[in-house]
Every structure is written in C-alpha cells, then in structure tokens.
Amino acid sequence: MRRSVVWAAVGVVALAVLYVPVDSVPLIYDALGYSAQSVSLAQGDGNTVPMGDEHIPGYYPAGVPFLASLAVRLLGPDLRHGIVVILACGVLTVLLTARLARRLGGNGADLALGVAAGLLLLASPVFRHTGGTILSQVPTALAVVVATGLYLRRDSRLALFGAGLLAAGSLLLRFANVSFPAAMGLVELFVIGRSRGAGRWRSTAILGAGMALGVLAVALHNDWANGHPFRTGYMLWKWDVGAEFSLAYFHEDFSEKRLYGEHWPLLKDFLGWGGRLYAWPVAVLLVGGLVSQLRDRQAGFELRAFAWLLAGALATQYAMLSVYFYKADLYQVSPLSLVFVMAVLAARSLVGRERRWWIAAAAGAWLAAVLVTAPPPKGAVTEALERHGVIARAARELPGDAVLLTTADSSLAEATFRLGTEREILYLGPFVSPLTQRVAERHLGAEETPDAVVAWATAQLQRGRPVFFDRSPPPRYEPERHAALRKALSRAFRFENPTPDGPEPAPIVRLLPRD
C-alpha cells in the first residue's frame, strides 16, 4: 500500500511539473514540423507537410508524428494537441526511471532511490523544456529507458531481442539516437555477452537479430515516407546551421557562428557547468559511480551491465556530438534517465543504505529550488505563441477565400489558416527552407522581390479577392528585407483594420488600393 502511494505521488508530481496547457504550447522550428506531420497523418495524407497545393515528405521520421496524431484524431486538427502524448511520455519516463533505480538499488525494493532519480530527472531544465513542447527527445528517452530495462535481464532471450528491436526502432522517433543502439551492440559483443547464459556470440546474435528487425522497420518507413530505404527526409542533417561536420567542434569557440560563444561546450555539459542538463554534483556522482561500478568485478550482472551500457551510450553520443555540436543539449536528453539512476546509486554508496531517504529528500529540495528560480520563457517561445495567436485569429475572422501575405512558417499557416478552405497564402522571405521559396516564386512567377509581391497582390485584388498582410516580424533573420517589403506595400496600398467594429487585431491588415 505504501509503495503504491509513493509511486502515485511521483506520477502526480511529474504530471504537475511537465503539464503545459494546450494554449501555451510553443510551436517553434522542429516542433512545427512534427505537429504538421501529425495533422497530415491524422487526415490520411501520410507523413507529409502541406506546402502550397501539394504535400511534401516530412523532414522527421513518422514515430513522433504518429503518436501525436492519436491525440489529433481524438481532440481535433489543432497543431498543439500532440502535447498530450508528449506529456504522457514524460510522465512514463519519470516513473520508469524511478523503477529502474529502485530495481538496481538492491533487493528490488529500494523505493528511496527510485523517488530520487525521478525527481532529479524532473529537475533537469532540458528535460522539462523538451517535455513542454512537441519534440522527439522525451519519447526517445522513454524508448531508451524501456530498452535498458529489457537489456538488463540476464537470461531472457526474448527480453534481449526486444531490447535490440526497441533500441534500433527508436530511430523511428529520432534518427540522432543511432548512438544508443551502437553502444548497446558494442557493449554486448565486447563486455557483457560473456556473462550471459547463452554466451557472447549467441547473445550478440540474439541482440543483433532484434536490431536487424528494427533497422528493417526503419528502412521500410523510409521507403514509404521518402521513396527510398536510405532516404531520411532531411535535406541535410544541419541544413539551417551553415556549419560542416568537424572534429574541431569538440573544443572550438562557436561565437563566430553566433551559437553559444564558449569553449569546450561538450565538456561543460558533461560536467554540469551552466546547468543545461544537470547540476555539477550530479556530474561528480556520475563519474564516481561509473568508475566504481566499472572497476568492481564482484558487482552483480545488472549493475555491471548497466554501468557499461551507460558508459558506452555516453561515449558514442559524445563522439557523435564532437563532430556535430549544434543544439547538443537537446541530443543529450535520450540517455539522461540513465545518468540520474547512476547518480543516485553513487549517492547511496556515499551516505549508506540506512540514510537513502536523505537522497530522495535532497532531490525533492533541489527540484523545488529549480522550479522556484526557473527563468521566464525565452523570447523565441513568446514570439512563437504570439505568431500562432495571429494566424489562429486570422483563420477565425478572415473570409474563406482570403489571400494572406505572411512570413509565418508554412507548417503553421497551412494547417491553421488554410485548412479546409479556399484561402491562398503567399510566403514572404526570409524563407524557412528552399522549398518554401520555390512555392512562393511559383506563385509570383518571378523571383521574390518587393515589386513582385506588390504586383501579385494587385492582381489578386483585381480578381476580387480580399488580400491581407501579416505584419509580424519574420521568424528567422533578415529584418531589413522584411522592412523593405513593408515599405513597398505601404506605398502601394492602404492598410485597413479587417474588423473595424472590434479592437485592432494587429498585425493583420487588409490591403486596399490607394485610388
């Protein structure tokens, strides 16, 4: 009874910390892509994104969009409804992290360590951030902790097969998670396989068979979604970064690329400096716990297998990130649960078993302190919420045959403003992708310039269509270009409040001829 109450309390705390109202879900960058693909899947258009009069293959694998589409089918075609699934994945990840820590704590009943690991995961800024919007990190973290739990079962061939299947299949959630199945395969082959009853080669073959089935599922997905087994949907892994893969990223200063502007960013993340992933005491416990467990030849199978799997996962991940650093903190969410499990195991070794509830109390105090001192949302988040509000209001209030000139991301505008109507959208630069630019220039019949946009809007007015201009600033760079366009439109047209009987719904204005 006591145990059930504690687990329920951890679940309630996780729900309270991770809950974000639908109206407060920021749809920014990658989240827009996942959300748009979920709406397309729910409406039977495949893993695609609407663009103009066609659907193009989505950038991201269908795993997260499919999960999010379940909420969209149930609650309606709102891009933000997928947050319900992300919340469920987040709560499950916390509970299973706690369960894994309890399992590894000895005697199968170390509740204190489970509570501590779950609370520390909730205290991680990057976990809370990715759990509050529609991204792939939290569902992938859930897959990692489940696969780890299966992998630690020593003599179950079915569990080992399932671990390999889930580890490789997690690429359907996030291709960047490739480092985790790679680590699992290497650890099984060179270290852990010899400790299983089936022996090294047979156990590696069983794990490999599960991974092969997972890879086959990924290949079939790619062929279905993108027309080729090895085509992922990404134009380039980092097409919007403008940086090449390089070993120098392990130590270089990124200030010239206007990203983070710091030296040794990966090392700082690992050591907990800056607190993007966790605080530095967690890093101390992590390192101490890994060193202790990897050197302990008398450790039980589960502890030894867990330590080697975590060490391998971190090593392969940091090897990947040392050549591709962009948004590295987001890439490190997937194995974060395992980091906190090792940290609480190491903490118990320091304070002793009889004081293990001190660890849970300290984790709870740390979570409370983090929540109280958490900074307000970044400007990008508030801008994303405002942009969604503008487009959603336009969808409610503008005519069904309206024409909208906007710099909004096509994933937002198509699924919110034009869905199920005869409305038309002209996308204005700076463009989020070359595909958006091609769609815009196909509309214009020319290269996108202020004069070409004015001519196109004039032609639409002459056809009798109501034309509106979204004056919101562009979401990505080049404000001077947008300012020039606004000046050209203001010279050519009168700006009128589209709903004169109500409060001004800026920044949407109606374009009317000056004569």
Q: What is the DSSP string of 70-103?
A: HHHHHH-S-TTTTHHHHHHHHHHHHHHHHHHHHH
- Whether residues 303 and 409 fall in one domain: no
The residue out of 373, 406, 437 marking a domain boundary is: 373
The reported pLDDT for the residue numbered 265 is 77
The reported pLDDT for the residue numbered 345 is 95
Strand, helix or coil for residue 20: coil
Percent of the chain, pLDDT > 90?
52
User: Of residues 252 and 411, which shows the higher confidence score?
Assistant: 411
What tens digit of pLDDT does each residue of 111-165 get?
A: 899 999 999 999 999 999 999 999 999 999 999 999 999 999 998 999 999 999 9
Is a pLDDT exceeding 70 seen at residue 353? yes
Amino acid (one-letter) located at 387: R
How many folded domains does the chain comprise? Answer: 2
- Whether residues 369 and 483 fall in one domain: no
Cβ contacts of 134 within 8 Å, gap of 6 or more: 25, 27, 31, 34, 35, 38, 64, 68, 79, 80, 82, 83, 86
- Whether residues 404 and 369 fall in one domain: no
- Whether residues 394 and 349 fall in one domain: no
Is a pLDDT exceeding 60 seen at residue 184? yes
**Residues 29/241, Cβ–Cβ less than 8 Å:** no
Q: For the purposes of burial, counting CB atoms within 10 Å of the CB of 383, is it exposed (0-12), middle (13-18) or buried (19 or more)?
A: middle
Amino acid (one-letter) located at 449: T
User: Of residues 404 and 250, which shows the higher confidence score?
Assistant: 404
Q: Are strands 467-470 and 508-513 parallel, antiparallel or unpaired?
A: antiparallel
The span from the first CA to the last CA of the chain, in angstroms, equals: 79
| Cα 84 to Cα 228: distance, rounded to the nearest angstrom | 32
Beta strands in 200-256 (DSSP E): none
Question: What's the whole-number mean pLDDT along residues 288-311?
Answer: 92
What tens digit of pLDDT does each residue of 386-444 get?
A: 889 889 988 888 988 999 999 888 888 888 998 778 899 998 877 777 778 888 888 88
**Lowest-confidence range among 97-111, 212-226, 456-470, 500-514?**
500-514
Is a pLDDT exceeding 80 seen at residue 500? no
Is a pLDDT exceeding 80 seen at residue 10? yes
User: Of residues 344 and 52, which shows the higher confidence score?
Assistant: 344
Question: What's the whole-number mean pLDDT along residues 32-50?
Answer: 91
- Whether residues 101 and 128 fall in one domain: yes
The reported pLDDT for the residue numbered 136 is 94
Q: For the purposes of burial, counting CB atoms within 10 Å of the CB of 228, is it exposed (0-12), middle (13-18) or buried (19 or more)?
A: exposed
The reported pLDDT for the residue numbered 252 is 60
The reported pLDDT for the residue numbered 384 is 85
The reported pLDDT for the residue numbered 107 is 63
> pTM for this structure?
0.90
Is a pLDDT exceeding 60 seen at residue 185? yes
| Cα 239 to Cα 80: distance, rounded to the nearest angstrom | 25
- Whether residues 19 and 147 fall in one domain: yes
Confidence of residue 239 (pLDDT cuts 50, 70, 90): very low
**Residues 239/291, Cβ–Cβ less than 8 Å:** no
The residue out of 327, 345, 373 marking a domain boundary is: 373
The reported pLDDT for the residue numbered 55 is 84
Tokens 């705390």 found at: 13
Q: What is the dihedral of CA 13, 120, 137, 474, to 10 degrees?
A: 80
- Whether residues 419 and 318 fall in one domain: no
| Cα 203 to Cα 207: distance, rounded to the nearest angstrom | 6
Strand, helix or coil for residue 205: helix
The reported pLDDT for the residue numbered 237 is 42
The reported pLDDT for the residue numbered 242 is 43
Is a pLDDT exceeding 80 seen at residue 466? yes
- Average pLDDT, rounded, for the chain: 87
Is a pLDDT exceeding 70 seen at residue 504? no
The reported pLDDT for the residue numbered 355 is 85
User: Of residues 473 and 511, which shows the higher confidence score?
Assistant: 511
Find, among 9, 10, 19, the residue nearest to 119 by Cα.
10
Is a pLDDT exceeding 90 seen at residue 74? yes
- Whether residues 212 and 320 fall in one domain: yes
- Enclosing domain of residue 417: 379-513
For the chain, how many residues are written? 515
- Whether residues 134 and 204 fall in one domain: yes
| Cα 135 to Cα 256: distance, rounded to the nearest angstrom | 28
**Residues 347/116, Cβ–Cβ less than 8 Å:** yes
User: Of residues 57 and 166, which shows the higher confidence score?
Assistant: 166
| Cα 480 to Cα 190: distance, rounded to the nearest angstrom | 57
The reported pLDDT for the residue numbered 248 is 64
- Whether residues 44 and 166 fall in one domain: yes
- Whether residues 203 and 339 fall in one domain: yes
Helices (H), 152-199: 157-169, 179-187
Cβ contacts of 300 within 8 Å, gap of 6 or more: none
- Whether residues 336 and 419 fall in one domain: no
The residue out of 341, 373, 405 marking a domain boundary is: 373
Find, among 100, 86, 111, the residue nearest to 20 by Cα.
86
Find, among 166, 170, 213, 164, the residue nearest to 189 by Cα.
164
Upstream peptide bond of 335 is cis (omega within 30 degrees of 0): no
